Amino acid sequence: MWIAKTKAELRARLDAASRPIILVPTMGALHEGHASLISLAKEKAGTEGTVLVSIFVNPIQFDRAGDLAAYPRPLSADLGVCETHGADGVFIPDDGEMYFSDHSVTVKESSLSTHLCGAARPGHFDGVCTVVLKLFLLTGCNSAVFGEKDFQQLAAIRRMVRDLDLQTEIIPHPTIRESDGLAMSSRNIRLTTAQRADAPRIHQALLAAAGESDAESMLRVAGKIIGGSEFAKIDYLSLVDAETLAPTENLSKPAILACAVFYGEVRLFDYVSIGR
C-alpha cells in the first residue's frame, strides 16, 4: 500500500495505477463503518482496479473551531485499517496542500443544505462539496463510496455530481451500527462512559416514532424519548421529504425522520426512512 502526501506524489502514483479508481473519502479516525466502505470499494474495483482512501480533516466544513481542534487523528491506526481492508493507496494531504492561503472559490449548495444539519451548521455543506470536488478532480476517480449515515451529505454530493455534469459514480453504503444500535461515528470515542451508555436512545427514539401514523405524533414520540435523557440536548428533530429534504407532514411520499443531538460538546446525528 502506497502513501501520497502531496498532489504531485498522488498524480505520479495514479498515473501508474490501473483503472477503475475507486475513491473512499474520509476524515480519518476510521472505524468498522469506514472499513466496510473500503471493502465495498475493493469489491467494485475488482482484481484490476485501484482503491484509494483519502484522509483529510477538512477545515472549511467545520463551523466550530473547538470541534475541528478536538477531531481525532489516529493516523497509524487509520493506515492499518486501510491496509487490512484492501486499500491500494492512501492520500493524506495537509491543509496547505489542499488550500492556498488566499483561496476564494468554493462550491455552494443552496437547496438541500438549507435544512437539518445545513441549517444548524451554515457553510458546512459548501465545505463538504468543495473538498469532495477537489478530490474528484485530483484523483480522476471513476467512482466514490459514501456512507448513507451522512444522508444529507450524500444527497448534496449527488446533487453536485448531477448539476455539474461530473462523471464520477456515487456508490452508497448502508449505515453501520454498534450492537446496541448507535450509528458508528468517529465522534463516539469522545463520549463519556455515561453518555455512551445513553446514546443508543437516539436510534431507539427514531424507531419508536417511525411506527406512528402522522408527523406530529412521530416528532412528539421521538422528542419525548430523547428528551428523557439527562445527558442529551436536541439540536434538531425533523421530518423531511426524502427527495428535497424540506420539512413535511405528508406521509404519502417517502420521508426521513432525522435528528441531531448534543452530548456535551459531541454532536451525534441519525435518521430512519419513512414509507420506503
Question: Residues 190, 165: one domain?
Answer: no
Find the CATH number of the domain harbouring 22.
3.40.50.620
Question: Residues 23, 152: one domain?
Answer: yes
The set of residues, in sequence order, having a beta carbon less than 8 Å from that of 85 and lying 6+ positions away, is 35, 38, 39, 42
Q: State the total domains in the chain.
A: 2
Q: Look up cell 483519502; give the residue.
A: 54
Find the CATH number of the domain harbouring 211.
3.30.1300.10
Find out whether 149 and 259 touch, Cβ atoms under 8 Å. Answer: no
- Sign, CA dihedral 179-181-182-184, equals positive
Per-residue pLDDT of the chain (276 residues; tens, 9 = 90+): 999 999 999 999 999 999 999 999 999 999 999 999 999 999 999 999 999 999 999 999 998 888 899 898 999 999 999 999 999 999 999 999 999 999 999 999 999 999 999 998 899 999 999 999 999 999 999 999 999 999 999 999 999 999 999 999 999 999 999 999 999 999 999 999 999 999 999 999 999 999 999 999 999 999 999 999 999 999 999 999 999 999 999 999 999 999 999 999 999 999 999 986
Is 203 part of the annotated catalytic residue set? Answer: no
> Residue 67: its pLDDT value, please?
86
128 domain-assigned = yes
125 domain-assigned = yes
> Residue 201: its pLDDT value, please?
98
Question: Residues 118, 47: one domain?
Answer: yes
> Residue 276: its pLDDT value, please?
65
Helix, strand or coil for residue 194? Answer: helix
Question: Residues 132, 109: one domain?
Answer: yes
Question: Residues 140, 47: one domain?
Answer: yes
CA 51 centroid distance within chain: 19
- Cα–Cα dist 149/235, whole Å: 17
274 domain-assigned = no
276 domain-assigned = no
Find out whether 97 and 133 touch, Cβ atoms under 8 Å. Answer: no
Contacts by residues 36-39 (CB-CB < 8 Å, ≥ 24 positions apart): 36/173, 36/176, 37/145, 37/146, 37/147, 37/173, 38/81, 38/82, 38/85, 38/86, 38/87, 38/145, 39/85, 39/86
Which structural domain range is residue 147 located in? 2-173
Q: Look up cell 458508528; give the residue.
A: 184
Find out whether 56 and 27 touch, Cβ atoms under 8 Å. Answer: yes
- Cα–Cα dist 200/10, whole Å: 40
Question: Residues 190, 169: one domain?
Answer: no
Please identify, among 123, 140, 173, the residue that sits at the C-terminal boundary of a domain.
173
9 domain-assigned = yes
Question: Residues 203, 74: one domain?
Answer: no
> Residue 182: its pLDDT value, please?
98
Question: Residues 217, 164: one domain?
Answer: no
259 domain-assigned = yes
124 domain-assigned = yes
Question: Residues 161, 204: one domain?
Answer: no
Question: Residues 145, 24: one domain?
Answer: yes
Please identify, among 173, 202, 235, the residue that sits at the C-terminal boundary of a domain.
173
Please identify, among 110, 143, 173, the residue that sits at the C-terminal boundary of a domain.
173
Question: Residues 139, 229: one domain?
Answer: no
Name the grid cell of 20: 477503475
| Annotated catalytic residue within 34, 85, 115, 124 | 34
Find out whether 231 and 195 touch, Cβ atoms under 8 Å. Answer: yes
Backbone angles phi and psi of 85, in degrees to 5: -100, 10
Find out whether 206 and 217 touch, Cβ atoms under 8 Å. Answer: no
Question: Residues 163, 191: one domain?
Answer: no
pTM score, whole prediction = 0.93
Nearest to 155 by CA among 107, 116, 113: 113
- Cα–Cα dist 42/269, whole Å: 28
17 domain-assigned = yes
